[in-house]
Each structure stands twice: as C-alpha cells, then as structure tokens.
C-alpha cells in the first residue's frame, strides 16, 4: 500500500506570560501509515528537535472545542483579534503552552482528512492482511 505524508511548516508562539510569547518554528506531520496520529516537531534551541505525537482526533476536535486531558490538551481561543488554537503539553521535563494560527492548522488538518477520512483509519493499518496471513499458516 502506498503511503502519503502531509507536512506543514509553521510558526507557533510559546506563551511565557499573558504579555509575552516567543516564536517557535514547528512542523506538523501526518503519515497515512500511522493514521491515528499527528506528529509535531518543535525546532527550539537544543541539539535535537523536540517531537510530540498524539491523536489526530484531538487536534481536529480542539480546533472547535476544548478537549484532551493529561499530557495534551487543545482548545480554540482568540489572540490579538485572530482565531487561534492553544496546545498545552505536559511532560516530566516541564509544561508548555503554545499558540497556533487556526487557519493554517485547519488547512493542514483538511489535507490529512482527505488522505485518510475519519472512520477509515483502521483499514490503513494492514491488520486484516497480517491476520489473514497468520491464520493461513
């Protein structure tokens, strides 16, 4: 099966305080061979970029309403008169609150949903073929 990758470079804002944020270059990745997940890579001042992987559904829903609990939470908001999506990430290394332009995130999500429509993800995993092969032995 042929796999498709949908990428998008964009600039997020790391919220340091209500008055202060700094730019964080990031890349959104979606791979049809990993259809339930989105991958976000942050290019920060470190030797290696920082990557997070979480459910695509979380980002899709978070554009419209607050969702998620635990390590990843996503919700819509307004900043400087513009619609944005906020992404709260928690790890043992610390917490981060990031702001992304909703138009860019939504356009990228729409591309991923055209590649693998919601509800068809399971068919992309190849489990049926692997199970048939296993049972044929």
**Phi, psi angle pair for 115, to nearest 5°:** -70, -50
Task: Give the SS3 label for residue 121.
Answer: helix
Provide the residue-wise pLDDT of the chain in tens; the chain has 137 residues.
Answer: 678 999 999 999 999 998 899 999 999 999 999 999 999 999 877 788 889 999 999 999 999 999 998 899 999 999 888 999 999 999 998 899 999 999 999 999 999 999 998 887 877 666 555 556 667 77
| Superfamily designation of domain 5-136 | Sporulation-specific cell division protein SsgB (2.30.31.20)
Residues paired with residue 12 on neighbouring β-strands, in sequence order: 24
Domain boundaries, the chain: 5-136
Tell me how far the alpha carbon of residue 128 is from its chain's centroid.
27
pTM value is: 0.84
């Amino acid at each position: 099966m042929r796999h498709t990758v949908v990428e998008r470079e964009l600039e997020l804002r790391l919220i340091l305080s209500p008055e202060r944020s700094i730019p964080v270059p990031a890349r959104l990745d979606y791979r049809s061979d990993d259809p339930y997940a989105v991958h976000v890579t942050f290019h920060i001042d470190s030797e290696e970029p920082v990557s997070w992987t979480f459910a695509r559904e979380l980002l899709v829903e978070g554009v419209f309403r607050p969702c998620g609990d635990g390590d990843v939470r996503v919700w819509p908001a307004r900043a400087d008169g513009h619609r944005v999506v906020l992404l709260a990430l928690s790890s043992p290394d610390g917490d981060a609150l990031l702001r992304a332009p909703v138009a860019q995130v939504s356009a990228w999500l729409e591309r991923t949903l055209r590649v693998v429509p919601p509800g068809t993800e399971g068919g992309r995993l190849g489990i049926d073929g692997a199970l048939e092969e296993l049972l044929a032995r």
